A and B are shown apart, each in its own frame.
Chain A
Amino acid sequence: GAVVSQHPSRVICKSGTSVKIECRSLDFQATTMFWYRQFPKQSLMLMATSNEGSKATYEQGVEKDKFLINHASLTLSTLTVTSAHPEDSSFYICSASQRTGQLLHNQPQHFGDGTRLSIL
C-alpha cells in the first residue's frame, strides 16, 4: 500500500531555532501534499496545501513566513518552522494522495506518522 514517511518523528530544540520537517511519499507520486497541526487531545487542523512546483496555499490564520513549505519534487514536501517559539510546540502531520491525471476526489489520503515538535 501507499506509504508516507515523515521525518523526524520528534524534535526538541531551543526557542529561536528553525526546524525542517520532511514528508516523503515512498512508493507513489504526490502532486499535492497537506500539512496539519494537532494539539493534544484535539483534532487535526489543516495548515496548508503543498503543490509540487508552485506556491503553497495557506489556510486563514497560518503565517506563510513562519511556516515555509517547499514541494520541489513529486515525492517530497518540507515544512520549515522558522524561529520557533514555545507556542509552536505541537504535533505536525503530513498527508498525500496518489497522483492522478486530474483532480480526482474519492481517494483516501495517506498520512505520515507525524512529528512531535517541542520548543524549550
Chain B
Amino acid sequence: SQQGEEDPQALSIQEGENATMNCSYETSINNLQWYRQNSGRGLVHLILIRSNEREKHSGRLRVTLDTSKKSSSLLITASRAADTASYFCATDAVGSARQLTFGSGTQLTVLP
C-alpha cells in the first residue's frame, strides 16, 4: 500500500506554542485518522474525521480535512512536554477492508 506523506518530518517547539502537522494522501477515503506513538510503544488513536467533514476538534486538538487537495492538518494548541511523540495520519480508503494506510509521520519534540 502506498504511504502518505507528512510534513514536517520533525518539529521542535517550546512548551505553550502550537504545533501543526500536515498530511497528504493519494486515494479517495472514507475517513482520515490521527494517531500518536510514544517511543517504542503502540499507537493511540487521537481523532477521526470523516470524508464529509471539514474540521473537527477534540480538546487541544484541531483537525482539518480538504478532500479536494487530499490533505489534512493536525493542530495541537498550547503544547506540553508530554505531547512529545510521533504523530501519524492514516487513511481508510474507499473500497478497503478497513485497512489503514499510514503517513510517514512527524516527530514532535516539545521543549520544557
Q: Which residues of A are in contact with B by a Cβ distance under 8 Å?
A: 4, 6, 32, 34, 41-46, 49, 57, 59, 91, 93, 95, 97, 103, 105-114, 116
Q: Is the CB of B30 within 8 A of A113?
A: no
Q: Which residues of B are in contact with A by a Cβ distance under 8 Å?
A: 1, 3, 30-31, 33, 35, 40-45, 48, 50, 88, 92, 97-105, 107
- Interchain Cβ contacts within 8 Å, total number: 68
Q: Which residues of B contact A95 (CB under 8 A)?
A: 43, 100
Report the Cα distance A103→B98, complex, angstroms. Answer: 8
Given contacts A32-B98, A108-B33, contact A116 B40 (CB under 8 A): yes
Q: Which residues of B contact A34 (CB under 8 A)?
A: 99-100
A35 to chain B, nearest CB (A): 11
Apart from A111-B42, A114-B40, what are 13 other A-B pairs with CB-CB below 8 Å? A6-B42, A32-B98, A34-B99, A42-B104, A43-B3, A43-B104, A45-B1, A46-B1, A49-B97, A49-B99, A59-B1, A103-B98, A108-B48
